Amino acid sequence: MGNGRKAGGVSFGLTAASYVATIGNNPGNSAYTDAVMQDSPLAFYMFDEASGTVMTDSSGNAHHGSYINTPTLGIYNIIANDGGNSAYFDGNNNGEKATVTYGAWMDTTSMTIMTTCIVQPAGLSMIASRYTDVGNDWSWFLYTNSNKFMLYYRSSGGTNYNIDSGVLVSGGVRYFVSAYVGASEAGIRVYDDTGLIASATGPGATLNPSSKNLILMDCDPPNPYPMIGYLDGLAYLGSALTTTRQDQLAGYAMGSTSKWVNRAAGVSPRNGTTDHTITFPAASAGSLLVAIISSPEANSMVTAGWTKRISCHYDTELAVYTRSANVGDSSFQVTLPSESNFPLHYIVYEFPTGSAWHSSTNNQNSAIFPDITGLPGTPVTVFAIMSMRRTSADTPGATLDWRFFWKTDFNQETVYNGVTNGIFTGVGYLSDLHNTTASTYYPEDEFIEFNTENSQRALFALTIP
């Protein structure tokens, strides 16, 4: 998932995040919104507009802004537990940005700027700025350079400082970025779904006053430095928040992405029989168990009490089974109907009580992912799966590429006939979607890209409390 992440990556199925958001599922009533308002922001942009040119300030200070050159509005939210929207800016297309006209309220001696975002890897590109290349009439900017999140600021004494977080941007990854300047310290902190992944500090300063506008995803002419990506919940404060408070706000914004309480993933090797026994940590009564399997043998059968939801196959089978768990459920048996010596990929999830299967779709022997249509207006979590057989003609050690996808859960090869023959299974999820159609190509920087045919591809949707 890119550089700068915690060692070991994301532990999906465990409590990976060090924070939990618990409040609200309505615009303007998320835990993050409530928490930000407690800190009296100068301006707070939630990007909940579905159309128009006005970027509403939700702080109550009426510091509204303008959308320039029609960025895409009404995209589903990327703040946890919030039913609002986000905005997508394609600066390389036609100069899309948002601007807030200069006011004396912007000239604070200290500040904090923070936002939830998904941005594309880029060189010198602005996320939020009060900057221009001309002269010294500027104050600060949050940006990427050499594809890393950075903060640049100017003191009232005319000294320029730069702080490099060291985090390399990964396309399609959701981040919370917070930058601050105070009298004793300045800094930048970057979070992803695992929590804080990097922080860096610099000298404290009294900020240089400036007549420059607040510009989002760009900056004032002559050189615009556009950024491509999504913004949600951008807050501008006239004080330097403590790092503890920034951690709390990041937790509210990112929420707990570990919606399942345990997981087992692995390979049941060739064993000379048609049966494979899969074990996993004991489930809680009433929880929803979801098992994903893949094997070269089609039309698998599973222990009674499980429901087969998907079964697509060509030269491998990709099947999904579900079960409402009883106390102590910790294993199930898969039977392959005829061949007695094939391996099996398996992944097992346990979702909390109240979770339910919603819908699914698949393509067999295809290089194209299907879409799910008819999703409800309330969030569902959409999972994408691909499975294929590796052949002896493949280059030894060759891998398939998951790119620009928020969260990749599991992929590896299963050896079943020599070191270059095996099964590849990949699973990822598209997070909570409010749209009626789910596609791995929506939004455009969150898709899975595979350069292979003859594979089984499926999407399925769950409702999760």
Amino acid 444 reads: E
pLDDT per residue over 47-97, tens digit each?
A: 999 999 999 999 999 999 999 999 989 877 788 777 788 998 987 667 899
* Domain residue limits, the chain: 31-254, 262-463
Give the residue carrying structure tokens 């006005």.
Answer: 54
Give the residue carrying structure tokens 């074990």.
Answer: 279
Q: Phi/psi at 32 (nearest 5 deg)?
A: -65, -45
**CA distances from residue 446 to 124, 376, 407, 456 in whole angstroms, order as listed:** 22, 21, 9, 20
Q: CA–CA separation, 318 vs 169, rounded Å?
A: 33
Does residue 24 or residue 398 have the better pLDDT?
398
Does residue 122 or residue 54 have the better pLDDT?
54
Give the residue carrying structure tokens 């409530």.
Answer: 34
Q: Which two tokens stand for residue 360?
A: 């699914």
Q: What is the pLDDT of residue 445?
A: 39
Q: Is the peptide bond before 71 cis (omega within 30 degrees of 0)?
A: no
pLDDT per residue over 268-311, tens digit each?
A: 878 888 999 999 888 889 999 999 998 888 889 999 999 999 99
Q: What is the pLDDT of residue 174?
A: 83
Q: What is the pLDDT of residue 374?
A: 84
Report H helices in 255-376: none
Closest CA to 148 of 180, 119, 185: 119
The DSSP-derived string for 122-136 is -SSEEEEEE--SSTT
pTM attached to this predicted model: 0.61
Q: Which CATH number applies to 31-254: 2.60.120.200, 1.10.150.120, 2.30.29.30, 1.20.1070.10?
A: 2.60.120.200
If DSSP codes are grouped into helix, strand and coil, which group holds residue 195? strand
